[in-house]
Amino acid sequence: MALRRILIFVLVALVPNSTLAYEGDGLIEEGENETAELARAVQNPVASLISVPFQNNTSYNFGPRDRTQNVHNIQPVIPFSINEDWNLITRTILPIVSQPSFARGQDRKTGIGDTTLSLFASPVKPAAGRLIWGVGPVALIPTASDDRLSPGKWGAGMTAVGLAMFWSRRRGCRHLERLEPRGRGF
């Protein structure tokens, strides 16, 4: 049943967006250089472009035994057209964690960590011709496959992203609050 819901979600997400075009939006218009447009669009965190970036983070000397931790994030970004002026961009972070042992006799744990789901409302056209931004809610969902890979707590807050196309730099921020009583870590 869950697999069926995921499949329906993916199929709905693949329906093309009908939005007005601008530089870096991911839409190829007649006479536009396709390669240059796609290069700009992949730098735009709120483009009308489905992407599935991967990010790998390795932490050395991690934990009380100074071992190596590895977190590989799968980060699908899926845009939806709300109307001709606004998009809703979903960004999910699904971490695959390889956690070292914290004590002798304990094995390394590898599995799925907690999922972070961000939803950005973003204008279709950039402000002042080049400023792209988005704001919205963010949720931390305890989906870890093992207790050692997560504190097991729900969280919610606000998130924002901004990008000036001429800088090719993006900045984002996120704030999460615990939704459960204090307990083991967060």
CA distance 41 to 1: 34
pLDDT at 23 over 70: no
Q: What is the DSSP string of 57-118?
A: EEEEEETTTTEEEEEEEE--EEEEE-SSSEEEEEEEEEEEEEEPPSSTTPPPEEEE--EEEE
pTM of the model: 0.69
- CA dihedral (45, 91, 21, 126) in degrees, to 10, reads -50
What pLDDT, in 10s, does the model give residues 87-109? Answer: 999 999 999 999 988 888 889 99
- The least confident of 23-27, 36-40, 146-150, 172-176 is 23-27
Which sequence spans correspond to the domains of the chain? 2-178
Q: Which of 6-10, 71-75, 130-134, 160-164 has the highest mean pLDDT?
A: 71-75
